[in-house]
Structure 1
Amino acid sequence: MNLLLLEQQHFIDEWHAELDQRQLRHVLNVHQASEGDELRVGLVNGNMGTGKITHLSSEIMRLEVELNTPPPPALPLTVLLALPRPKMLKRSLQHLTALGVKKIILMNSYRVEKSFWQSPWLSPGKVREQLILGLEQARDTIMPEVVLEKRFKPFVEDRLPTLVAGKLGLVAHPAGGESCPHQISRPAVLAIGPEGGFIDYEVDKLAQAGFQRIHLGPRILRVETAVTAIVSKLYD
């Protein structure tokens, strides 16, 4: 945890906050902090700054907070991610959040198992947990938007053309296409398929919506590895 992320309910008043549970355990066991120490803190969807520990016990921590630093800039990137298996989903959400992606669309694909859409890890609370972990890792405070699109064709035909209008549309695909562009300076929409990639029909539908194929070379990467590699290459 590189940033102690606060929410409005943690604040006693404008300058003082009170924490327990996961964050308190981390401060006690990992930071091994003491009263009087200062921690890096941030307010969800607000500024960052410092929090001075004024009280610390095994049950509760109180902080005197000053928030005067804006969060890092977001990437001008929307990611369409074919819904991965739950374990991979958690890592992918954390990685994308840490990289600065602020809109993530979890979409359906032929190779996405139907059972994945029933996973408890898709509940708003569980998704938020992973986003918080990504923000804490990267010292960011702005919560990404996560959208679920359970039907491929209506999404790609009816909503995606508007989403990609004026942006660079890219679909990561292991076969064909151009090498992944590097250090682009314009907004983009990136589609990443499931294990095994999008089927040809889906790649064709994405192409009709304005997407071009890209690849990272001959190696086949896991979804969470491809996510990190492509985003990092697009925006150095």
Structure 2
Amino acid sequence: MFTLHYRLERRAIGMTLGIIAAASIGGFVEIAPLFTIDQTVEAAPDMRVYTPLELAGRNIYMREGCYACHSQMIRTLRDEVERYGPYSLAVESKYDHPMLWGSKRTGPDIARLGGKYSDEWHVRHLLDPRDVVPVSIMPSYGWLMENDLRIDDLRDQLATQRAVGVPYTPDMIRHAADDAYAQANPDGSGVKDLTARYGEATTVRAFDGTPGRLTEMDSLVAYLQILGRLTDAASRDTLAKDLE
């Protein structure tokens, strides 16, 4: 069984050619599907981008390592669909750089978390997880309520996202800091401009319960509340399959 392998090991050129052949086959299998990606990724005309506040919350989510315990990819298995909702589609991560699908589930999958709980629930959960889930082993994140959100670099964050294909407009980039503040201050003067740039469906409220002050808690809750709601493609896809 190992005779051929032993012979190759004694011949450097033959071994090198064998490695190249094996790597070429593996590379082809991985790369070839990318040439048909336009046909395999679902269309989502209603797909919206993250607002500056939601994008800042996503960055805090990554900074705190939340992705290490929570996946954002519901597989097509029946028990997962029944527990979490419609299975995830590739297009739903279209504007995620990097994507946060993951596979580790110390905590539940949160791909469809948006709108499932109130803002107050999320704030209490982040301040003291056991206050709302007695058996939770999640650590508390009380400093999010104490830390003011840094907004001076939001222009750069949106510009970077635009560079990798997210369709932020120059106007969105220019007003990133103002829009972040407006989204967490429903009585502020910037709400009209915010919704004009990001759409009437944009969620505008004091996410941490304290209007007038912009905290890291505001941004993280805003991000959690939009998960699974950037597009209705998954719900439409599930409905179409049910009707077949």
Q: Same fold (TM over 0.5)?
A: no
Which has a greater percent of helix?
Answer: 2
TM-score by length of 2: 0.29
Higher relative contact order (CA 8 A, sep 6+): 2
Which has a greater percent of strand?
Answer: 1
TM-score by length of 1: 0.30
